Copies of this chain bind each other. A is one copy, B any other.
Amino acid sequence: MLMNQTMSTILDVAQELVQTRGYNAFSIKDIANRVEMRTSSIHYYFPTKADLCRALISRHRQRVADVLAGIDQKVGDPRTKLERFAYVFQSTIEAGNRMCPFGMLAADSDTLEPESCEELRASFDDLENWLKRVLLEGRKAGVIAFAGSAQHEARFILSTLEGAMLVARTYKDPGRFEVVARRLLGRLKK
């Protein structure tokens, strides 16, 4: 999707609202107020709220792909890669007690368009596939140990991180997330 600065700013604000309040707890007016525009101007860029949601998921999916590619490029050790992965989640909750956008939309998924829901699943698949690959790399290199399939272990890791954010949010205590994430990765030690 071709995007200019204004659209990007609108999505920034919308994403923050999704992460803190959820898709059904903010209005176009909330966005308009924060970007200091009228609601009609928001609709100029995103005709409907559903359009905005689709753009949001799509952009975040791409951003996450870029972040994971960056980790692959900068980091060699598979265990360190997993730590970086977990830290992406941790830094999110540390910055204003935000939930993962995908995790929040998963909660709202019954109220999303089928199309948005599908891209949400594809986004989770991306995360799971990256984890699966890193786990296999680590097992092959002899630096990571886990039982069973890498696919299932990846799914396990993703579920735990999402759940740890969800619960920690309620306490507004990022420390709760950290304790769980540390335990999660500790399990994988050789």
Most buried by B among A103, A158, A162, A187: A162
Sorting the interface of chain A by its residue count into under 10, 10 to 19, 20 to 34 or 35 or more gives: 35 or more
Are A186 and B107 CB-contacts (below 8 A) given A117-B170, A167-B158? no
- How many copies of the polypeptide does the oligomer hold? 2
Please tell me which stretch of A1-9, A44-52, A108-116, A135-143 contacts chain B, meaning at least 4 of its Cβ atoms lie within 8 angstroms of it. A108-116
Interface residue? A71 (CB, 8 A):
no
Residues 121-161 of A contacting B (Cβ, < 8 Å): 121, 124, 147-148, 152-153, 155-156, 158-161
User: Which A residues form the contact surface with B (CB < 8 A)?
Assistant: 20-25, 97, 99, 103-104, 106-111, 117, 120-121, 124, 147-148, 152-153, 155-156, 158-171, 176, 179-180, 183-184, 186-187
